A and B are shown apart, each in its own frame.
Chain A
Amino acid sequence: MMEFLASIENSGFATWVREANTVLAYPTVLAFHTFGMAFLVGTNAAIDLRILGVAPRLPLAPMERFFPVMWLGFWVNALSGVVLLSLTPITFLTTPVFYIKLLAVMLAVANIRLLKRQVFGNPANLDTRPVPMEGKILAGTSLAFWTVAILAGRVTAYSGFVQRQTALAVLIVAVLVLLAGSITPRVRSLLGWSRYYGKTFDDTRSVSERKMPPWNPS
């Protein structure tokens, strides 16, 4: 097995991508891996945020058109990921956190398919009644899986001890940011800085949206 991996690592292709003296080799493959991540995870995060209650006036049904953008990002990353793996396969495949990343990506992709079936599967119910609880849970797990995937990818080059410390630091900062975000509107309204003058606390529509009829008459 190790000889097989070593022969991949020493192949002309892997050697060229790894060592060519041009930014069009290794750095560009890395950049494409980042483009794919931005489209796959970013589009998925936007859909998750909508399901979790951001931009409540935005109809969900047309967002299904963005699923091909996610699959394009996925295939760009599957391809660029295989190239990156072929450069130093022994290092990657003997690093436990690399398997955590692969597992997180697989779970996140399975999550997209479940989300599509659960939330977008029944167009008659979409945008006429609130997203069911299972849909909101799937949106939350989607964000969590992608965070783990990004974190695991970022710490691959570090020692196990630093990896665990980083994971804890990310968790603490994320909780602090979420807490700050959840108390900000309350602090603003206490100080009288609220943008939502004369409206109930939950009415977060922009002024131009308020002039429009509600998206769904129900």
Chain B
Amino acid sequence: MESFLRYWLRWPSLESFMSVPWAWPLCETFHFIGLVLLVGIVGMFDLRVLGMARGLPLAPLQRLLPWGVFGFVLCVMTGLMFVLGIGANLYDVNAFDVLMTDPWLQLKLIFIFLAGMNVLAFYLTGMARAVDVLESGADAPPLAKVIAGTSLFLWLGVVYFGRLIPWGL
């Protein structure tokens, strides 16, 4: 199993690309742009569900969410490049060892997984539909508020642990 993972987590050509001087800061810039879109737009949605800016009807607000998803995709793509291309930044370090030893990266991945489960719960409990019909001024059901609060907490946790990753290497 370990040799299998070590083999599939080795991407020498990606490592060569990340060794180009501008590749790392380029990915960092788009990781941050993605972070801003994800946390800003999902956070805005969560705050509305929690009761802020109640004048906003929820169905049209959901039309902003694809831009948050776009931010998430930017972050996943650039994040994969950091982890799989870590050897370009640190001598004699590889993705497998980093994934196995860095506690902050592990916590970040767990929080991303939990945030995904939270989105799943949002749909499976019917809260997505209950929230979609909320007009201007309407209050969200308590369970939707719990899910929105959890979402805010988890994404800020993802940002926090992401910032700590270099200190766990």
Contact = CB atoms under 8 A, between A and B. Distances in A.
Interface of A: 23, 27-28, 30-31, 34-35, 37-39, 41-46, 49-50, 54-59, 61-63, 65-66, 69, 146-147, 150-151, 153-155, 158, 161-163, 165-166, 169-170, 173, 204-206, 208-209, 212, 215
Nearest to A170: B29
Interface of B: 21-23, 25-26, 28-30, 32-33, 35-41, 43-44, 47, 52-57, 59-64, 67, 104, 132-133, 136, 156, 159-160, 163-164, 167
Which residue, A34, A56, A59, A63, has most C-beta atoms of chain B within 10 A? Answer: A34
A37 B32 contact: yes
Nearest to A157: B25
Nearest to B45: A46
Of residues B33, B156, B159, which shows the largest number of chain A Cβ atoms within 10 Å of its Cβ? B33
Contacts of B21: 158, 161-162, 165
B63 A59 contact: no
Contact of B164 (A27, A35, A49, A162): A27
Contacts of A205: 60, 63
A134 to B, nearest CB: 23
Given A46-B44, A55-B63, 10 more contacts: A38-B39, A42-B40, A45-B37, A59-B56, A59-B60, A63-B53, A69-B52, A154-B28, A166-B25, A206-B59
Contact of B36 (A150, A155, A158, A170): A150
Contact of A34 (B22, B30, B35, B55): B35
A165 B25 CA distance: 10
Nearest to A204: B63
A42 B56 CA distance: 17
A49 B54 contact: no
A209 B61 CA distance: 10
A175 to B, nearest CB: 13
Contacts of B62: 206
B147 to A, nearest CB: 19
Given A66-B53, A169-B26, A35 B159 contact: yes
B44 A61 contact: no
B60 A38 contact: no
Contacts of A212: 57, 59
A181 B124 CA distance: 30
